[in-house]
Amino acid sequence: MKNKKSVRHDGYNKTVCFYFQVHQPYRLSKCNVFEVGNKDDYFEGPATFENKAIFEKVARKCYLPTNALMLELLEKHPEFRVSYSFSGVFLDQCLQFGELGKEVLDSFKKIIATGQAEVLCETYYHSLSWLYSKKEFAEQIIKQKKLIYKLFKKKPTVFRNTELIYSSEIAEFIREMGFKGILAEGWDHYLEWKSPYFVYNPEKVDLHPADRKIARQMAVNKAPKKPACRQGRDIALLLKCYKLSDDIAFRFSNRTWSEWPLTTDKYAAWLDAIMGDTINLFMDYETFGEHQWEDTGIFEFMRHLPEALLRRNIGFKTPSETIKAYKPVGRVHVPYLMSWADMERDLSAWVSNPMQESALRRIFELEPTVHQSASKMTKKKAEELENTWRRLQTSDHFYYMCTKYWNDGDVHAYFSCYESPYDAYITYMNTLNDFEQKLIKI
């Protein structure tokens, strides 16, 4: 006999939490050793991967059609919910790249204005700053929060780190900064017997006193005469249901997959069979139209999914609504850094070879010099200098240097704008050398 499903106080058996990452890096222009000291613009992108051209391509294939679909679904189904995190460098490109950029940004604003969508916070430059400078990490979060409010008039209360990089220590730092929730990969290694279909709290850990001081000084959502830190108050942890998320993001068009073709009814039935409170479907927004092309049927799949789920009494919530609706059922401890990248779910996509380590060390060693140089400049020039340094921190630059699976033609090669990881390293280091020479002259 089939067990009778429990019905929540909101009338649903369970709810789905959709979260989409929206990011576009500033790829580096080609820079050879003879240009060092005389390079003018670092961020046009290589000749065959110009940043403006890539933005325009992805806008037409993904951002605009997907936003039109999401707006249609939000208007058709008042119960439907979505959430986004936008890297600051993506939003910068929206503001930089003319009418098409404005159209993309306006289409996101329309979605947020429905009241059925949430904007999350992340590092402005989609960086790995947590690894090298807690102060820089916090400053990028504050800068991102200000940009989100300027563009969308929203104050984020939930945080997701670059590429879902997470540990219990990061969660504690983010809690001290005043956030109510944080996202992470629901990786089996750390979950063990626990299910990702519930809300959790991170395991409590002690921060280094200097790091705790930084977090409290930089705390967001400050109220007058009231500290923003959440002393004595837990932060909620939402875990990505990676198998179900990846069924859409990676396996949807794979004809060798045993479940191909994936229909909305089949997928909805899978979700219906799950025992839990929340099904967290986290993925890159470029899943729609870019990674999974339109002719795969991905848009039609998404168009009919909300209705298929609602028929089964499965509702939708944003991350904040999920945190408010469901009590945490326990704690999850993640002592080491994990991410949502590759099979290993670690940081090896960005920090696994001497090239990556050398480049990362060099860019973050410049922090005091950059700020000292900026202090001698006008406000506008100082902002330009710091912006250049921070764009050079974007994690994609180091992702392109990854050698793990390059020869197998894997996803690293697919997303790279370089002929090889070594070419990526040479271009980056030549650019960095040019930047350092400019710093010396200030």
Burial class of residue 255 in the structure, from the number of CB atoms within 10 Å of its CB (0-12 exposed, 13-18 middle, 19+ buried): exposed
Q: At CA 112, angle to CA 111 and CA 113, rounded to 5? A: 90
- Within 13 Å of residue 181, how many CA atoms lie on the same side as its CB? 24
Q: Which alpha helices (DSSP H) does 77-187 contain, by range?
A: 88-96, 98-113, 134-152, 168-176
Helix axes 134-152, 209-217, angle to 10 degrees: 20
Q: What is the signed CA dihedral for 413, 418, 422, 424, rounded to 10 degrees? A: -110
* Residue pair 398/360 in contact by the 8 Å Cβ criterion: yes
The Cα 29–Cα 46 span in angstroms is 5
Q: Which residue has the tokens 């600051």?
A: 88
Burial class of residue 225 in the structure, from the number of CB atoms within 10 Å of its CB (0-12 exposed, 13-18 middle, 19+ buried): exposed
Structure tokens that stand for 182 in this block: 């944080």
DSSP tag of 124:
T
Structure tokens that stand for 93 in this block: 């490109």
201 φψ region: left (φ > 0), alpha (ψ -120 to 50), beta (else): beta
Q: Active-site residue among 79, 136, 163, 172?
A: 163
Structure tokens that stand for 352 in this block: 């696994």
What b/e readout covers 57-90, taking b as 16+ CB neighbours within 10 angstroms? ebbebbbbbbbebbbebbeebebbbbbbbbbbbb
DSSP tag of 257:
S
| Bridge partner residues of 237 (DSSP) | 182, 200
The Cα 436–Cα 370 span in angstroms is 9
The Cα 66–Cα 106 span in angstroms is 13
Residue 176 designated active-site: no
Q: Which residues are catalytic?
A: 163
